[in-house]
Amino acid sequence: MADRRGFFRHGGALAWGLVSAVALTLGVSTVLLANTADVRYRRDVMRMAFNDNLEVLEDVRRQAGLAKDTLEQLLAANPVAGRTQPYIVVSIADHMLWYKSGDSTLYQAPVATGSGKVLEKQGGSWKFETPRGRLVVQSKDTMPAWVPPDWHFVEQATKRGLGLVRLQRGQSVPLGGGAAIAVAGSDVVKRLPDGTTVPLEATDGREIVANGNIVVPPFGTNQRRYKDVLGVARLNLGDGYALHGTNKPETIGQSVSHGCVRLRNEDIQQLYGMVALGTPVYIY
């Protein structure tokens, strides 16, 4: 014990220097290991884009701890990308999108992605998450209208403590005083006692309400087509998913969408002009 005390007393500077050096080396190694893992993961995403290799896709998915998806079906349903074909990569965790060609980034932008929340009401269950895997730009359009699915009205009714009434063609919702809500041609209208009809307005957050219920317009009516919600352009990925703009730019960078990848209008407008139909989209 005396020899040890003497060592640290007489050679203390050297001893503590060695201890500090070892600790510093361990710290640097930890940082390098983390950085190396991140670089390796991003490299694997690049390999995924170049090769369309199912084994690589599954390996990346397992390493990232991602939820199980249907990568086999996605790959089987879409053509293989050539090495020179531009492609899009979306990181759900980073809320970022890159439009790339080889190693070059042609454009990048922040995005909003699915919230991951689950809605269980009215006998239905919906999980609002962005799909992972390989998709393809199937079509694109400008100034798209949003046709809200049934879950939108269920969600709105839940938030506002209202009931739901699904309006069908040939039926009406009585309002009292002889008036009623009905469908006339392509519009949901208020029909007055004298037979006069007045088209009703509806948009996101301002749905048609009657007698304490949200009235769900039938598909094909103007009241089930919301303007401006999807921004100035949309790249459709199939199954109701898309890259699109927004009328709520403050949500970009967050997990708040119902599954689509949401961009600022200036970014989706730029991508609309750059991205061709058939472009692969890799979401991880």
Q: What is the tens place of the pLDDT at every residue in 113-129? A: 999 999 988 778 889 99
Q: pLDDT digit string (tens) for 248-266?
A: 999 999 999 999 999 999 9
Q: What is the pLDDT of residue 83?
A: 61
Written as six digits, the tokens of 145 are 């209208």
Residues 155 and 210 in one domain: yes
137 assigned to some structural domain: yes
Opening angle at CA 187, ends 184 and 192, nearest 5: 55
Which of 68, 87, 117 is the last residue in one of the domains? 68
Residues 125 and 242 in one domain: yes
90 assigned to some structural domain: no
Which of 224, 247, 264 is the last residue in one of the domains? 224
Residues 155 and 247 in one domain: no
- Among 64-73, 188-197, 203-212, 224-233, the range scoring the smallest mean pLDDT is 64-73
Section 57-65 average pLDDT: 44
Report the C-alpha dihedral over residues 199, 200, 204, 208, rounded to 10 degrees.
Answer: -140
Indicate the residue type of 55: E
Residues 132 and 163 in one domain: no
Residues 6 and 28 in one domain: yes
Indicate the residue type of 157: A
Residues 206 and 232 in one domain: no
257 assigned to some structural domain: yes
For residue 130, give the CATH number of its domain: 2.40.440.10
Q: pLDDT digit string (tens) for 205-226?
A: 999 999 999 999 999 999 999 9
Indicate the residue type of 14: L
Residues 207 and 179 in one domain: yes
Q: What is the pLDDT of residue 47?
A: 45
83 assigned to some structural domain: no
- 10 given a catalytic annotation: no
The structural domain count of the chain equals 3
Q: What is the pLDDT of residue 123?
A: 79
- 260 given a catalytic annotation: yes
More confident residue, 279 or 102: 279
Q: What is the pLDDT of residue 13?
A: 46
Residues 16 and 140 in one domain: no
How many CB atoms within 10 Å of residue 153? 22
Q: What is the pLDDT of residue 24?
A: 43
CA 272 – CA 141 distance, rounded (Å):
8
The 3 state secondary structure assigned to 127-179 is ECCCCCEEEECCEEEECCCECCCHHHHHHHHHHHCCEEEECCCCCEEEEECCE
Q: What DSSP element (H or E) covers 94? A: none
Q: What is the pLDDT of residue 61?
A: 46
Q: pLDDT digit string (tens) for 20-31?
A: 443 444 443 433
Residues 213 and 239 in one domain: no
143 CB contacts (<8 Å, ≥6 apart)?
Answer: 227, 232, 233
Q: pLDDT digit string (tens) for 98-107?
A: 999 988 999 9
3-class DSSP assignment, residue 212: coil
Domain holding 182, by residue range, is 150-224
Q: What is the pLDDT of residue 241?
A: 96
Residues 179 and 214 in one domain: yes
CB 111 within 8 A of CB 265: no
Q: What is the pLDDT of residue 259?
A: 96
Residue 156 has pLDDT above 50, yes or no: yes
Q: 190 pLDDT band (50/70/90 cuts)?
A: very high
Residues 110 and 248 in one domain: yes
Which of 177, 204, 224 is the last residue in one of the domains? 224
The interaxial angle of helices 54-64 and 12-51, nearest 10 deg, is 140
77 assigned to some structural domain: no
Q: Give the dihedral sign, CA 234/184/190/156.
A: negative
Name the catalytic one among 95, 152, 244, 258: 244
More confident residue, 281 or 60: 281
Residues 156 and 213 in one domain: yes
Q: What is the pLDDT of residue 105?
A: 96
How many CB atoms within 10 Å of residue 199? 15
CB 208 within 8 A of CB 188: yes
Please count the CA atoms within 13 angstroms of the CA of 171 that sit on its side-chain side.
Answer: 9
142 assigned to some structural domain: yes
Q: What is the pLDDT of residue 237?
A: 98
Tell me the percentage of the chain whose pLDDT exceeds 90: 67
